[in-house]
Chain A
Amino acid sequence: LKPFWVKFCGPALRASSRAPPRAAPPRPLARVPGPGDAMARAGPDRYGKLGDQAFGKMEKVNSDLLALTYGSLVTQLLRDVEDVDAVNAQLEKMGYNIGLRVVDEFLAKSGAGPCQDFRDTCEVLAKVGLRMFLGVAADVVMWNRELTACSLVFPDNPLADYVELPQHLSNRLWYSNLLCGVVRGALEQLQLRVECSFQKDTLNGDEHNMIRVELKEVMREDYGEDD
């Protein structure tokens, strides 16, 4: 039980808000790709380091405070809205509103450049965005063949510290559904319409958390009529 006491008395500090923002739509390559490899990308460490730097610049808040606040938010929602699916939807909507706003902060503070394609986008999302706002970086795995859908996998979720789901909610409530909304909102500000949902959650007994991100449409900029 030693590690628990350490955590309880001196919790790790994490950033204040969360959301993984995205970068601008594709632009012609400025640098020469690797020899003979049309799909060359930056080494996996580049975004990792960028993420750590951005994390360092963010103002920190006590992770216990964040976890307990989020916990009381979820339980209050459950008391107000009895239906579990409605609670999931409500959490996602709240996350969506957060995402819309947080993407600007991300673009200002992260120093990430424009992304070449959706694959880069998800990498930046997982390594820089999530790290900046949530404190943990995710791995991007399980790409589909057209490269329009992927899974973000992260082993621990600071929002779900100390949480134990009661029996009747296990496998019905997606406790951290706020994060899905945040991803959706942030990407929508960058003209990418995605659908985001939890596939696995450590609170349900799985070994890690997994969010599935699927690109539905790259929205065209719609400039209204100028009168």
Chain B
Amino acid sequence: NDCPVYEADLSGQGVRDDSPHLDEFVLNAALDIVDDIVWTTTAMHLRHVDKFNEFNVSAYCTAGHTRFMLVHKTRHDNAQAIRSFFNELHDLYIKAVMSPFCTPDARIESPAFDQRVKASAK
């Protein structure tokens, strides 16, 4: 089941010059690649997995095979920042999922989680 548990638009500036759902398409296309790469390494950070025109996709896979995917343009590519962002995201995700009211595979509704993710995104 590949339903997104959570998605957020982290771009700070207002105007996006591409079509609205492009990042969703890019992400879903990258999912297959991620699934292949996951079995080749024991690390959680999968770093840069795919490229589409000028978009890069970075991924991080948790022990439970929950995948975090980040779409970003080349000029923001900063491996260390992405790595630490994924680490923080993982911590926040664990905390959110430990709540008894959060069923696995369900969407994460909590506004607090939303807020913290946006705060930690650069």
Contacts and interface: CB of A to CB of B under 8 A. Distances in A.
Q: Do A and B bind each other?
A: yes
Interface of A: 1, 4-5, 8, 68, 70-72, 74-75, 161-167, 169
Contact of A166 (B88, B92, B95, B101): B101
A163 B101 contact: yes
- 10 nearest CB pairs, A to B: A71-B100, A162-B98, A1-B91, A164-B99, A75-B100, A164-B110, A166-B101, A163-B99, A162-B99, A72-B100
Contact of B101 (A5, A68, A161, A164): A164
Interface string B80-117: 00000000100110111011111000000110110000
Contacts of A161: 98
B12 to A, nearest CB: 22
Nearest to A2: B91
Interface of B: 88, 91-92, 94-96, 98-102, 109-110, 112-113
B108 to A, nearest CB: 10
A4 B98 CA distance: 12
B94 to A, nearest CB: 7
A163 B91 contact: no
A164 B91 contact: no
Contacts of A166: 101, 109-110
A167 B109 CA distance: 9
